[in-house]
Amino acid sequence: MTINVICGYILFAMAAPNIDTIVSLAKRRGFVFPSSEIYGGLGSAWDYGPLGVELCNNVKQSWWRWLVYERDDIEGVDSSIILNRLVWKYSGHEATFHDPLVDCRECKTRMRADKIDGKCSNCGSTNLTDQRFFNMMFRTLIGAAAEEDDPAALAYLRPETAQGIFINFLNVQTAMRRKLPFGIAQVGKSFRNEITPGNFILRTREFEQMEMEYFVKPDAEHSKLVDEWVELYLEWFKGLGISGNNLQLHEVPEKELAHYSRRTVDIMYRYFPERPEEERQFEELMGIAYRTDFDLRAHSSKAVDSESQRINPDSTEDLSYFDEAGKQRFYPHVIEPAAGVNRTVLAVLMDAYSEKTNDKGETRVILKLAPQLAPIKAAILPLAKNKPEIVGMAKAIKRSLQPVLRAVYDDTGGIGKLYARQDEIGTPMCVTVDHQSLEDEAVTVRDRDTWEQERVEVAELAEYLQSRLKAAAPVQAAGAATSSLDI
Ligand code: ATP
């Protein structure tokens, strides 16, 4: 496990030993706070702090840039969270979006039946109730005067972003003059009344998804396309700094497939490294599903079932596609990679976590975030905060860097403490302004991972930092590149 020795410190190249390590770091350093804490919290809800919101934004931006900007076949949308209730009727969610629920008769714990092996996850008892189904959509009422039991006022918070894409398929296709194959991407909040939320931001009732629906012809090689997207996403995750050793594929068995899916492959991450191997170390990070033409047909006015009955008498639009080349009209089929922002952030944090321990047993945490994800790219630190010239120069450098990259100024401690703090939040570069800087217009740049220092002229600093950050960005596979590193 020991990798090397830097300045008397022994570096342990390790991911976080468990989720709790990240919970504590996240709260201490301003990434994630328990929500509503001053009122006793709200079961498994979390708020993202100053650094957490930056990290989430960087993950979402990296994803958006990769799919919408760098590829030529994907458009973006941002649909409403509350949609017409009929969307959820015809998507099948009203009837089937439920989880099996059981209660333990001994300790009264409530659990998802499909996440346990017939034993209570709390006390191990097998004395469980029969399973019953529980619809996970959050209900709300539309209209100021709506009565509690008025079905016309009933609406749901979306449990997935995907339906907002399907109902806009024709709008996007015609407005953007798209031909198959092409995709539509969306990132945004989804809500599920989970039976057993928990494990920090891994499973919450309110979360964020990055979903993309890739529309193809009915005779495309769907299974091969699923495999291709799996490969692309594996490379994307590795590009975010997640080790391939902590990723695993899971072919979802047929009997566990969602109602719309003919094949689903989950990419799993080792969220529970502390568990013995036989005890579920891995949990789903994302899923790639072949949804057939289920959704577009379900929302179409003209689609019929096997008895020639209209599937959807409420829809006013037919979401079919006319293929000029083949002179054929059909409902496109869909490959859907659906990833969670929060689960990605947790995996990124766990994999970036490392510790250095010195001879005296003192441990320093270093968060080795990929530069494009780091909340802060450079911290500008004055060596003496009681010297107005040094402070003034450091603040001026911060201001001059800000248009180019995210920089902060910090003088709230001695230089050792300031370095340690920046290491712990994953800042790739620290820039120190000292007495000498006033003479030679140069500063010291310290690298987070090697702690090596270099003297750089202030006039060249912005360019120098940008090139160092770019050089540190992981190489990505073709089609999955983060080539235009946004710093
Ligand atoms: P699980 O089996 O873990 O409940 P799922 O298969 O129902 O997940 P999908 O419907 O495939 O999840 O949603 C796509 C992605 O959205 C998931 O892979 C995950 O990253 C994210 N996600 C789903 N539910 C939650 C949740 N309750 N909290 C956080 N992220 C979630």
Query: Residue 349's pLDDT is what?
Result: 98
Which atom of ligand 1 lies closest to the CA of 343?
A: 20
Mutate to test the pocket of ligand 1, among 213, 229, 343, 344 (most ligand atoms within 8 A of CB): 343
Residue 371: CB atoms within 10 Å? 26
Q: What does the pLDDT average to over 256-271?
A: 96
Residue 376 has pLDDT above 50, yes or no: yes
Secondary structure class of 275 (helix, strand, coil): coil
Query: Residue 106's pLDDT is what?
Result: 93
CB 118 within 8 A of CB 126: yes
CB 221 within 8 A of CB 327: no
Nearest residue CA, atom 21 of ligand 1? 340
Q: Which residue has the tokens 């003192």?
A: 362
Query: Residue 11's pLDDT is what?
Result: 63
Which atom of ligand 1 lies closest to the CA of 344?
A: 20
The residue among 430, 54, 73 whose CA lies nearest residue 216 is 73
Share of the chain above pLDDT 70, in %: 94
Query: Residue 13's pLDDT is what?
Result: 55
Residue 481 has pLDDT above 70, yes or no: no
CA 128 – CA 105 distance, rounded (Å)? 6
Nearest residue CA, atom 23 of ligand 1? 340
| Residue 53 parent element (H or E) | helix 50-64
Which atom of ligand 1 lies closest to the CA of 209?
A: 16
Q: Picking from 82-91, 147-156, 323-332, which range would have the lowest pLDDT averaged per residue?
A: 147-156
Confidence of residue 209 (pLDDT cuts 50, 70, 90): very high
Compute, in angstroms, the gap from residue 224 CA to the centroid of ligand 1: 23
**Which residues partner with 329 through β-bridges?**
322
The residue among 420, 407, 418 whose CA lies nearest residue 384 is 418
Q: What does the pLDDT average to over 43-49?
A: 94
Nearest residue CA, atom 16 of ligand 1? 340
Compute, in angstroms, the gap from residue 468 CA to the centroid of ligand 1: 36
pLDDT digits (tens, 9 = 90+) for 20-29: 999 999 999 9
**Which residues partner with 454 through β-bridges?**
445
Q: What does the pLDDT average to over 252-277?
A: 96
Q: Which residue has the higher pLDDT, 72 or 1?
A: 72
Compute, in angstroms, the gap from residue 203 CA to the centroid of ligand 1: 8
CA 117 – CA 254 distance, rounded (Å)? 19
CA angle 87, 90, 91 (to 5 degrees): 75
Structure-block tokens of residue 379: 């911290």
CB 414 within 8 A of CB 384: no
| Residue 74 parent element (H or E) | strand 74-76
Compute, in angstroms, the gap from residue 462 CA to the centroid of ligand 1: 40
Which atom of ligand 1 lies closest to the CA of 197?
A: 27
Q: What length does the chain have?
A: 487
pLDDT digits (tens, 9 = 90+) for 428-449: 999 999 999 999 999 999 999 9
Mutate to test the pocket of ligand 1, among 207, 236, 264, 265 (most ligand atoms within 8 A of CB): 207
Compute, in angstroms, the gap from residue 392 CA to the centroid of ligand 1: 48
Confidence of residue 14 (pLDDT cuts 50, 70, 90): confident
Query: Residue 5's pLDDT is what?
Result: 53
Structure-block tokens of residue 434: 């000292």
Which atom of ligand 1 lies closest to the CA of 266?
A: 18
302-306 contacts, C-beta under 8 A, 24 or more apart: 303/331
pLDDT digits (tens, 9 = 90+) for 339-352: 999 999 999 999 99
Compute, in angstroms, the gap from residue 148 CA to the centroid of ligand 1: 29
Q: Compute the mean pLDDT over every residue in the chain, rounded to the nearest whole number.
A: 92
Q: What is the DSSP string of 378-438?
A: EEEEES-TT-HHHHHHHHHHHHHHTTTS-EEE--SS-HHHHHHHHHHHT-SEEEEE-HHHH
Residue 324 has pLDDT above 70, yes or no: yes
CB 293 within 8 A of CB 265: no
Q: What does the pLDDT average to over 202-210?
A: 97
Cβ < 6 A, ligand 1 pocket: 160, 192, 194, 203-204, 207, 209, 284-287, 338-340, 342-343
Which atom of ligand 1 lies closest to the CA of 286?
A: 18
CA 382 – CA 412 distance, rounded (Å)? 10
Confidence of residue 111 (pLDDT cuts 50, 70, 90): confident
CA 248 – CA 266 distance, rounded (Å)? 8
Provide the phi-psi class of 196: left if phi over 0, else alpha when psi is between -120 and 50, else beta. Answer: beta
Confidence of residue 3 (pLDDT cuts 50, 70, 90): very low
Q: Which are the contacts of 198, defined by CB distance < 8 A and separation ≥ 6?
A: 44
* Maximum separation of any 2 CA atoms in the chain, in Å: 86
Nearest residue CA, atom 19 of ligand 1? 340
Query: Residue 471's pLDDT is what?
Result: 82
* 8-to-352, 356, 359, 430, 446 alpha-carbon distances in Å: 22, 10, 7, 20, 17
Compute, in angstroms, the gap from residue 286 CA to the centroid of ligand 1: 7
Nearest residue CA, atom 10 of ligand 1? 160
Residue 174: CB atoms within 10 Å? 9
**The pTM of the whole model exceeds 0.85:** yes
Query: Residue 321's pLDDT is what?
Result: 98
Compute, in angstroms, the gap from residue 98 CA to the centroid of ligand 1: 13
Number of H helices, E strands in the chain: 13, 25
Structure-block tokens of residue 370: 């990929």
What is the number of alpha carbons within 13 Å of residue 344 lying toward its C-beta?
Answer: 29
Secondary structure class of 296 (helix, strand, coil): helix
Compute, in angstroms, the gap from residue 340 CA to the centroid of ligand 1: 7
Q: Most confidently modeled of 99-113, 143-157, 375-389?
A: 375-389
Nearest residue CA, atom 29 of ligand 1? 203
CB 9 within 8 A of CB 408: no
